[in-house]
Amino acid sequence: MTSVATRIDLLTGKPAGLPGTAPAPSTCSTDLSANPWDFAPAVSAGYGPGASEDDVVPAGAPAQPVIPEEYQHASAEELDRRITAAKQTLGERVVVLGHFYQRDEIVKHADFLGDSFQLARAARSRPEAEAIVFCGVHFMAETADILSGEHQSVILPNLAAGCSMADMADEDSVEEAWEQLMDILGETDDDGRQTVVPVTYMNSSAALKAFCGRHGGIVCTSSNAATVLEWAFERGRRVLFFPDQHLGRNTAKAMGIALERMPMWNPHKDLGGNTAQDLQDAEVILWHGFCSVHRRFTVAQIDKARAEHPGVRVIVHPECPMPVVDAADENGSTDYIRKAIDAAEPGSTFAIGTEINMVNRLADQHPEHTIFCLDPVICPCSTMYRIHPGYLAWMLEELVAGRVINRISVDAATARDAEVALERMLAALPR
């Protein structure tokens, strides 16, 4: 099984236009795959090579200190042996959670592999574990800390493994938007229903999950977004959906909500760039955020796949822009994509619009099918790819030595409010 490092085409070009709507960059570098420690904030002001290379890292984003040189210079085989040995020594004292988008060299060591909804459940499924090592990104580790026991430590192997989408909505901006909305709409309608119910995608900070908990809102994932929106509309007149505009738009459109009832909220403009009437007429107010991996997929790529592979089944993630979702045969979460391929008749052909590590893994696991990524540039997630075996070996060997490093800890007040919204999410089962 090969990793994405051997499959990337390096092209040239730069994006242009507004965030989330511009053509995806045609550049993608493999540099992050081998030596992610070369792209620490002190060296690079951005997220590093990959899909988020041109996104802006906010001030105060977590930074990862340099790891010991022995892990930087160890061969892949040595790191694999050391990870395996450390896990065997620790036994049930540690559980390793891995997201579908992680590189294969990490996935092979995961005790649980899944999407963000599944991993949120997994975080509380091993109460006997003293440490939860989360091979994902920062907001996922925060969620694990909130849902796990007080006796458990949640560890993120690389603190710089953030999420550019999550960084597009910060607590101050959301609070300011909420104040403006309350000034126009009030807190409740005449019938006592909330005028706005806040819904945050899992890809957000603990602070924003806590915001939703305090204001009668909820967290969603791509697997249960429709269930969550139904929950929200049972309780309120409108939804403020952040940070991913595309998941919000695609889910609401599938529920029959008209596009003109889904204004965009730009946090850099008064009233988000809308009129008071726009907001009064709105059903879903979409935050101006996006996923840099999924915005790379285009209708032209789908047309090309259909021309070159008659009968191809196109499945894309709902974080893709609406025209792409509309042009695809199906859209769904990473778990939906996996299950669709598992259930397909042998000899099927799939064009998949999601992160390349998962697409390549599915292709390797299903030689009876033809499976390929829609994006010919094949660009990995800049932040997921920061979880390198060197970091995982370091974390585990430190645990063997009795030291907990890179612990993710959410303060008690934030955790309390965030857990309210997360429990609502866990109860909103995917369809």
- Residue holding tokens 């009795």? 402
DSSP 160: T
pTM: 0.90
Task: Answer yes or no: CATH 1.10.10.10 is held by domain 69-163+385-410.
Answer: no
Judged against a pLDDT cut of 50, whether residue 407 lies above it is answered with: yes
Q: For 303-317, how does the pLDDT look when each residue is reduced to its tens digit (9 = 90+)?
A: 999 999 999 999 999
Q: How confident is the model at residue 34 (pLDDT cuts 50, 70, 90)?
A: low
Judged against a pLDDT cut of 80, whether residue 25 lies above it is answered with: no
388 marked as binding residue: no
pLDDT score for 320: 97
116 marked as binding residue: yes
Long-range contacts of 358-362 (CB under 8 A, 24+ apart): 358/100, 358/101, 358/334, 360/2, 360/3, 360/4, 360/7, 360/104, 361/1, 361/100, 361/104, 361/107, 362/337, 362/338
Architecture of the domain defined by 166-291: 3-Layer(aba) Sandwich (3.40)
224 marked as binding residue: no
Q: For 250-279, how does the pLDDT look when each residue is reduced to its tens digit (9 = 90+)?
A: 999 999 999 999 999 999 999 999 999 999
Q: Is the peptide bond before 346 cis (omega within 30 degrees of 0)?
A: no
The amino acid present at 279, given as its one-letter code, is L
Assign 372 to helix, strand or coil. Answer: strand
Judged against a pLDDT cut of 60, whether residue 8 lies above it is answered with: no
268 marked as binding residue: no
- In CATH, what number does 294-373 get? 3.40.50.10800
Judged against a pLDDT cut of 70, whether residue 2 lies above it is answered with: no
Q: For 371-397, how does the pLDDT look when each residue is reduced to its tens digit (9 = 90+)?
A: 999 998 767 777 888 899 999 999 999
Q: What percent of the chain has pLDDT over 90?
A: 77
User: Strands 349-353, 370-373: parallel, antiparallel or unpaired by DSSP?
Assistant: parallel
173 marked as binding residue: no
334 marked as binding residue: yes
Contact 410, 146 (CB under 8 A): yes
318 marked as binding residue: yes
317 marked as binding residue: yes
Assign 239 to helix, strand or coil. Answer: strand
CA distance 129 to 114: 19
381 marked as binding residue: yes
Q: How confident is the model at residue 142 (pLDDT cuts 50, 70, 90)?
A: very high
Question: Cα dist. 369→222, 341, 346, 374 in Å?
Answer: 25, 8, 6, 15
203 marked as binding residue: yes
Please list the residue range(s) of the chain that carry CATH number 3.40.50.10800. 69-163+385-410, 166-291, 294-373
pLDDT score for 63: 81
319 marked as binding residue: yes
Judged against a pLDDT cut of 50, whether residue 330 lies above it is answered with: yes
Mean per-residue pLDDT, 83-88: 98
Judged against a pLDDT cut of 90, whether residue 33 lies above it is answered with: no
